């Protein structure tokens, strides 16, 4: 084999290949693809064929590719059509080629020494990619394309794999009774049944849906995932500067948005229930960061005692708790979702704001993951120390608000 295309060696090899397999110029040239620059495989094939007197007539029906290498423009147009409603900067092309053709390619490659060959798949991907870069003025990205388009060359079908869009923000939940994420009906698991009035859901609304609705509309996305930095219970409000989250929009078409407009639209749609701020574009890595982040939290806790609460006694309890580490055995209300174990949690601050009869309000700053309801009630001794025991009056949390998530 020589690196000069029409060397005696190469011409002889081309002759041998053609004597056994009637293939087109593009397919012949592909077996010499790494010889010479800036010429097409079709051209390589035609040069070799010119040097073969007996075989100078080009093949009409190629034994190998069945004509798909002549259809690069056709596949390019198919992809352009499939992409026409999508916003993207970078892309990558893939081809699905009939197994029969791939087998034939392997057969030829196994029969001759062909160190300069490239695969038909490689050629199609590259050539279609080049044409698309020109026509669409976008670039190929092998690592992280916005859209991957795979054309099935047997059936003329284009399959698109679209990179999710991520939006970071903080949310405030202004009312009680809304879960953070969508809860599917336990009976029908989302399909809709009599029990859930055919909504498929346990709750009509969630923070997730109230935020995602406008984003799905704007991006023409088909699905989403909500990734919160922890979560508050359904009956707990999220106030202050809000809780960090990343919303992932899947299978979307439109990616360019003014975050200030989006903020306004979401806040109008979710008015009185949920409010978002600090919206910006994000990525999959931030999902991991936000989900694993552990931040101190400040709570406002309204507690209800079985009888009148003595303010001095409560203040003393608050002083005892401040700076201490409590032990919490997994509460029964979450035992289904969490492993049973003892968690040690630091209480950084505990202050009494007001006492009125059997109702008192406290502000508590604690480590991420502290069960505040159990810190108040004691949860049958599963949390120790606890407020009920310290003031010798059984108490429960009447209202709980997260006032601040620190550190983000
Ligand atoms: Zn061919
Ligand atoms: Zn149901």
Return the pLDDT at 58: 66
Return the pLDDT at 174: 98
Compute, in angstroms, the gap from residue 182 CA to the centroid of ligand 2. Answer: 13
pTM of the model: 0.86
Instruction: Among the bound ligands, name the one nearest to the CA of residue 192.
Output: 2
Do both 25 and 154 map to the same domain? yes
Residue-wise pLDDT tens for the chain (408 aa)?
A: 557 888 888 888 998 999 899 999 899 999 999 998 888 898 999 889 888 877 766 677 889 998 888 899 999 999 999 999 999 999 999 999 999 999 999 999 999 888 899 999 999 999 999 999 999 999 999 999 999 999 999 999 999 999 999 999 999 999 999 999 998 888 898 899 998 889 898 888 999 999 999 999 999 999 999 999 999 999 999 999 999 999 999 999 999 999 999 999 999 999 999 999 999 999 999 999 999 888 999 999 999 999 999 999 999 999 999 999 999 999 988 877 778 899 999 999 999 999 999 999 999 999 999 999 999 999 999 999 999 999 999 999 999 999 999 887
- Active-site option among 233, 235, 251, 283: 233
Do both 174 and 110 map to the same domain? no
Q: Can you give the C-alpha Rg of the chain in angstroms?
A: 33
70 in active site: no
Return the pLDDT at 56: 63
Do both 279 and 359 map to the same domain? no
Do both 137 and 187 map to the same domain? no
Assess if residue 2 is contained within a domain.
no
Do both 323 and 271 map to the same domain? no
Assess if residue 1 is contained within a domain.
no
Question: Does residue 95 contact residue 121 with C-beta atoms inside 8 Å?
Answer: yes
Compute, in angstroms, the gap from residue 150 CA to the centroid of ligand 1. Answer: 21
Do both 273 and 386 map to the same domain? no
Compute, in angstroms, the gap from residue 59 CA to the centroid of ligand 1. Answer: 8
Instruction: Among the bound ligands, name the one nearest to the CA of residue 17.
Output: 1
For tokens 């392997």, the residue is 106
Compute, in angstroms, the gap from residue 171 CA to the centroid of ligand 2. Answer: 28
Query: Residue 374 class from Cβ within 10 Å (0-12 exposed, 13-18 middle, 19+ buried)?
Result: buried
Return the pLDDT at 368: 92
Instruction: Among the bound ligands, name the one nearest to the CA of residue 195.
Output: 2
Assess if residue 3 is contained within a domain.
no
Do both 279 and 378 map to the same domain? no
Compute, in angstroms, the gap from residue 22 CA to the centroid of ligand 1. Answer: 9
Instruction: Among the bound ligands, name the one nearest to the CA of residue 63.
Output: 1
Do both 355 and 250 map to the same domain? no
Do both 121 and 194 map to the same domain? no
320 contacts: CB under 8 Å, gap ≥ 6: 385, 390
Compute, in angstroms, the gap from residue 24 CA to the centroid of ligand 1. Answer: 4
Do both 209 and 231 map to the same domain? yes
Cα–Cα distance, 375 to 372 (Å, whole number):
5
| CATH code of the domain containing 253 | 3.30.70.2510
Query: Residue 276 class from Cβ within 10 Å (0-12 exposed, 13-18 middle, 19+ buried)?
Result: buried
Domain that holds residue 243: 165-292
Q: Report the number of distinct structural domains present in the chain.
A: 3
Cis amide linkage into residue 301, ω under 30° from 0: no
């Amino acid at each position: 084999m020589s690196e000069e295309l029409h060397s005696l060696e190469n011409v002889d090899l081309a002759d041998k290949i053609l004597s056994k397999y009637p293939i087109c110029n593009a397919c012949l040239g592909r077996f010499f693809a790494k010889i010479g620059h800036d010429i097409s495989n079709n051209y390589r094939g035609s040069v070799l064929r010119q040097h073969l007197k007996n075989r100078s007539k080009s093949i009409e029906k190629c034994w190998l590719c069945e004509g798909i290498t002549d259809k690069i423009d056709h596949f390019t147009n198919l992809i352009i059509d499939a992409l026409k409603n999508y916003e993207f900067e970078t892309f990558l092309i893939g081809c699905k080629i009939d197994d029969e053709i791939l087998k034939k390619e392997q057969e030829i490659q196994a029969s001759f020494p062909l160190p300069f060959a490239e695969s038909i798949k490689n050629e199609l991907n590259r050539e279609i990619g080049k044409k698309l870069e020109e026509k669409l003025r976008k670039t190929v990205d092998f690592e992280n394309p916005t859209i991957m388009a795979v054309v099935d060359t047997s059936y003329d079908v284009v399959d698109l794999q679209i990179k999710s869009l991520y939006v970071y923000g903080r949310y405030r939940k202004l009312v009680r009774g809304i879960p953070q994420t969508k809860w599917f009906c336990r009976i029908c698991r989302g399909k809709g049944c009599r029990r859930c009035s055919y909504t498929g859901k346990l709750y009509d609304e969630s923070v997730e849906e109230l935020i995602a609705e406008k984003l799905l509309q704007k991006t023409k996305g088909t699905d989403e995932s909500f990734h919160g930095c922890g979560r508050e219970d359904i009956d707990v409000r999220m106030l202050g500067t809000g809780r960090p989250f990343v919303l992932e929009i899947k299978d979307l078409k439109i990616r360019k948005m003014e975050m200030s407009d989006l903020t306004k639209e979401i806040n109008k749609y979710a008015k009185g229930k949920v409010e978002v701020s600090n919206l910006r574009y994000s990525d999959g890595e931030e999902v991991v960061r936000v989900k694993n982040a552990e931040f101190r939290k400040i709570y406002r806790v309204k507690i209800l005692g079985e009888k009148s609460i003595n303010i001095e006694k409560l203040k003393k309890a608050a002083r005892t708790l401040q700076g201490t580490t409590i032990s919490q055995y997994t509460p029964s209300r979450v035992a289904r979702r969490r492993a049973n174990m003892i968690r040690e949690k630091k209480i950084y601050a505990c202050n009494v704001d007001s006492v009125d009869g059997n109702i008192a309000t406290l502000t508590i700053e604690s480590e991420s993951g502290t069960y505040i309801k159990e810190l108040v009630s004691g949860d049958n001794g599963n949390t120790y120390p606890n407020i009920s025991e310290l003031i010798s009056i059984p108490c429960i949390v009447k209202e709980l608000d997260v006032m601040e998530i620190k550190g983000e």
